[in-house]
Amino acid sequence: MRQLIAGNWKMNGTGASLAELDAIREAKPADADILICPPATLIARAAAKGAVPIGGQDCRAQVSGAFTGDVSAEMLKDAGAVAVIVGHSERRQHHGESDAVVAAKARAAWRAGLLAIICIGETEAERLGGHALDVVTRQIAGSVPDGASPENTTLAYEPVWAIGTGRTPTNAEIVEMHGHIRARLAARFADAAGMRILYGGSVKPANAREILALADVDGALVGGASLKARDFLAIAAASS
Ligand code: PEP
């Protein structure tokens, strides 16, 4: 399977940042898929450049309505997005999103014809308490709707304690968790073997090659290191 290297710009970037997309286009690898998820304000302009596939960072489950400040999956599609991240831990933490809400957002993504990148991952307390696998099992059960397939869904395992901290799980912990996620998906979906499982959390040029070579790691979701084309391209070049 081709690996996917997805960049999450979070709440960073203005029009000037779109030049990074030109730099990515110039040097993007031939043997990996890439995706950039800029803030909502840049999606239409980013997509119009045609430099790289563009995704959203979140969507609301409803098509339209009285939801001030929110964006629907249909709006992202209309703006030129091909994918949307749902259930990022920053949404779960700061916006109180439950697994049920995340599942509804994933279904909304499918309804609009977008790839849903569904994020899961344990907190540090949950890992230290020995509950990481159980937490992720519960998140998969609640956040990944029936009907998931390799075409409409990608999973992103992002341990909350590794996001933006410079810390990563050991290789053995990543392999154990990705194998566990694959097994949980296989218990529900016939084509789970073809479903991408990304690793996310402090992926950088210095550790990308090692992480991307691990079993059942089908790409990376990259936050901070996706803001500069040079770092993002170095990570993409390390894909196996
Ligand atoms: C993320 O927010 O999805 C992420 C992986 O962030 P970072 O790479 O900065 O840890």
For residue range 152-182, what is the model confidence (pLDDT) as tens digits? 999 999 999 999 999 999 999 999 999 999 9
Q: Which residue out of 158, 167, 174 has the highest number of ligand 1 atoms within 8 Å of its CB and is therefore the one to mutate?
A: 158
For residue range 117-143, what is the model confidence (pLDDT) as tens digits? 999 999 999 999 999 999 999 999 999
**Is 55 a domain residue?**
yes
> 222 CA to middle of ligand 1, Å?
5
Where is 138: in which H helix or E strand? helix 132-143
Closest of 70, 76, 69 to residue 42, by C-alpha: 76
Q: What is the pLDDT of residue 41?
A: 98
pLDDT above 90 (res 240): no
Q: Residue 183's domain spans which residues?
A: 3-221
Q: Model-level pTM greater than 0.85?
A: yes
List residues near ligand 1 (CB under 6 A): 8, 158, 163-164, 200-203, 221-225
**Is 236 a domain residue?**
no
**Is 78 a domain residue?**
yes
- Ligand 1 atom showing the smallest separation from residue 156 Cα: 3
For residue range 194-216, what is the model confidence (pLDDT) as tens digits? 999 999 999 999 999 999 999 99
> 8 CA to middle of ligand 1, Å?
7
**Is 50 a domain residue?**
yes
Query: Which residues are part of the catalytic machinery?
Result: 88, 158
How many separate domains does the chain show? 1
For residues 240 and 14, the model is more confident at 14
Query: What are the backbone angles phi and psi of residue 148, rounded to the nearest 5°?
Result: -65, 140
Which position has the token pair 């696998």?
133
**Is 150 a domain residue?**
yes
**Is 240 a domain residue?**
no
Q: What CATH number does residue 153 fall under?
A: 3.20.20.70
